[in-house]
Chains A and B, each alone.
Chain A
Amino acid sequence: MTINIDQANQKAIDAFMEARPVLVGVAKVMDVIPGMHENLFLHAGPPVTWERMSGPVRGAMIGAIFLEGKAKSVEEAEAILKSGQIEFAPCHHYDSTGPMAGVMSPSMMVYIVENTTTGYKAFSGLNEGRGKVLRMGAYSEEVINRMKWLNEVLGPAVDRALKEMGGLDIRTLLAKALHMGDDGHNRLDAASLLYTNFLAPYIIKTATDLTQASEVVKFLGENALSILNPVMAGCKTMTQAGHNIEGSTIVTVMARNGTDWGIRVSGLGDRWFTAPSPKVKSLYFPGFGEDDACPDIGDSVITETAGIGGFAMATAPALVTFIGGTPRDAINTTLDMYEITFGEHKHFNIPFLDFRGTPTGVDIRKVVETNMSPRVNTGVAHKDPGVGQVGAGVVSAPMKCFEDALVAFAEKFEI
C-alpha cells in the first residue's frame, strides 16, 4: 500500500489535539513506571553512556545516588555510576519526560498524567523551583534535602488533593494560561498560579498537618515553574498519541541530554535521529559566561513538539525580557514556526494573531525544505556537575536530526 503523507500527518496531529491529558496523582517512580527497577536511572534526551554524559546529567545522577542512599561521597557515587551497576535509559523509553538533566531514580515521586482519550499515562518529577537544583546538575545537601521534602511532604499532599478533586485537566489549564501571557514552557507564571489556585483548597481540605499544607501551598505558589512537569507529561501524552502512524513525517519526540539532540518521527518508530547538542544563544546570570554553559539539555522541548513553548511565543511577549529580543521577535518566532509545522492547534490559540491556533506538528519535510529548524526557549545549565543554572536563551535544533530522518523515511517507504 502506498502511503499518503498528508493524510498520515493529519491523523497524527489530530491525535495530538484529541488527547485529553489529566493530572491524576503523584506516586513513586518504582511503583508506577512500567519496567522500572532498583538499578535503573532515567535521564533526559536520547541514550547516552556515562563516558559521554554531560556535566549536569552526571551531577544529577550523583544527586540521585545520594537520594537513593547508595553512597555518601561524590567519589563513591561516581565509582558506582562508572561501574556499570546502574543502567541508564532515556525518560522517553519509559513514558517519562524530565526537564534539564531529567534524572529520575526509583524512589523519586512523579506526577502521573493520563490521556483520558486513550488511557496512556506519562510521568514527570516534582519541580524543585529555580536556582541550585538537581535538574541543573546540583547535588549539594540543600538540593538533596529539598528533593526529600518534595518526596515526603509535597508529593503526598498534592496526590491527596488531586484525588480529592478528581484530577486536573492540563489541556484546559494550558489553553487558559496561553491567554494570560504564558508560552507553556519557559514562562509558566500564570499556569503555575492557576495550578496553585486549583490545588490549594484541596490541599488544605485533605491536610494532615496544616503547617505543612501551608508550606506546600507557599512553595507551589512561589515557584513559577510548579506546573512545568505536569505540562511536560501532558505534552508527552499528546505527542505519543500521534506516534507510530504509518507514513507520517511528524516529529513526536524532541529531546536533548547536554551531549546529543535527538528526535523521533511518527512514521519511523522508536528510532532516534541525533546530532551533537548545540550551545544555547543565551543571556547569563552575573558571574557566568558562554564558557560555563553546557550544550542544550532537557526533555522540556516536548512542549514545542506538542505545539506550545517557543512555538507559542507570540502569546508570551514578556518572555523576551528573559531571553533577550523584542516583542516583535516573539511574534516572528511563532510565524516562522508555522512554516515548519503541519497544522494549527484546535485548543491552543494566540489572541494577538486573531486567535490563530499555535503551530502544531513539526513536519520533517518542511524543516528540511525551508532549512529552518524548530526554535526552543530554554534554561542553560553549567557544564560541570554540581553547579546549577547559569542563564537562559534560545536555540535552534540541529538540522542534521531532521535531514537524517528524511533520508531514513525515504529509505523506509522506498520514495
Chain B
Amino acid sequence: MAAKDHSMTSVAIDTAPEQVTRTGIRRRLQDALPKIVLAPSFAVTLFFVYGFIIWTGYLSFTNSKTFPSYALTGGRAYQRLWTWTFENDPPSSWYTSITNMGIFGLLYIGCCLALGLLLAILLDQKIRGEGFLRPLYLYPMALSLIVTGVAWKWILDPGLGLEQTFHQMGWTSFHFDWIKNKDFVIYTVVIAGVWQASGFVMAMFLAGLRGIDGEIMKAAQIDGASTWQVYRRIIIPLLRPVFLSALIVLAHMSIKSYDLVVALTSGGPGGSAWLPSNFMYEYTFRRNEMAVGSASAIIMLMAISAIIVPYLYSELREKKS
C-alpha cells in the first residue's frame, strides 16, 4: 500500500517544472530502492535455482554421458529408470535406491516422531533438571551427518563396536552385523539418522506442548480422565500442526540424506544402502550417465515438491487472510 502511494506522488511530481523533476527522479529512485536491494538476491535465486532446475531437466532429455550434450534425444533416461523400477531380480541400483528410500523414509520419520513425542511428553511432566536433560537429546543435531556416520560406523562394526563389547561382557552369542549385510544395512542408516534428528523433533513437540494451556489438562483430570487419556484424546490431537511441521521437515531431510549413507556405509555392500540421492551422485559423477543422473534428480525434486508446495502454499495463504 505504502509503495503505491509513493508512486502516485512521484507521477504527480513528474508533471511539474524542471527543477522539481530532479527531485522527482531522486524520489523515484528512493521508491525503487527496496526493489533494487532485493533484486540481486531474487535474480540469483531465479537463475541458480529455477534456471538450474530447468537446465537439469533439459539434460535429462539428452543422451549426456561424461559431458553434457545439448541435443535433445527424448525421454530415454526416464524410460530406463522406469524399467529399472521393476527390475528386482537381481535388483537394479534404482530399484534398490527407491526401495531403500521407502524403508528409510517410513522408519526414519516414524521413529523420529514417536521418540520425539515420547521424550517431549516425558520432559513435560514438571521434571527436575529439564534444562540439563534437554540438551543431551538435542546435541546430535549440531553434528554433521559425516561425523554421525563415522561415529556409528565404529559402534556398529561387528569387530569393534557393540558386538565386541557384548562379547566381552560375557554375552558371546550376541550377533549384530547389519552394517555388513546387504539386506539390513539400510536399517543401520535409520538408527544413525534417528539418533541425529529425533532430539530436534522432541524440541518441536516440547514447544508445542508448552503452547497448550495447562488448564485443559487440569480440567480434564478433574473430570476423572487419566493422564494417558488426556494425552491421547486432547493433547496429541492439539499438537496436529506440530506433527505436520515435523513431518514436512523430516520428509525433506530424509529425501536429501546423502552424507549419512556415504559416511556410515560407503554405499553399503554392492551399493545396497543407496538412496536416490546417492544414485544421482554416482550416475552423474562416477558412472558417466549424466542424463540418467539428471532424470533421477528431477524425480527427487518432484517427490519433494509434492510435499512442500501444498504446504508452503497453505502457509503463505493463511498469512494473507
Is chain B a partner of chain A in the same complex?
Answer: no
| B residues at A contact (CB < 8 Å) | none
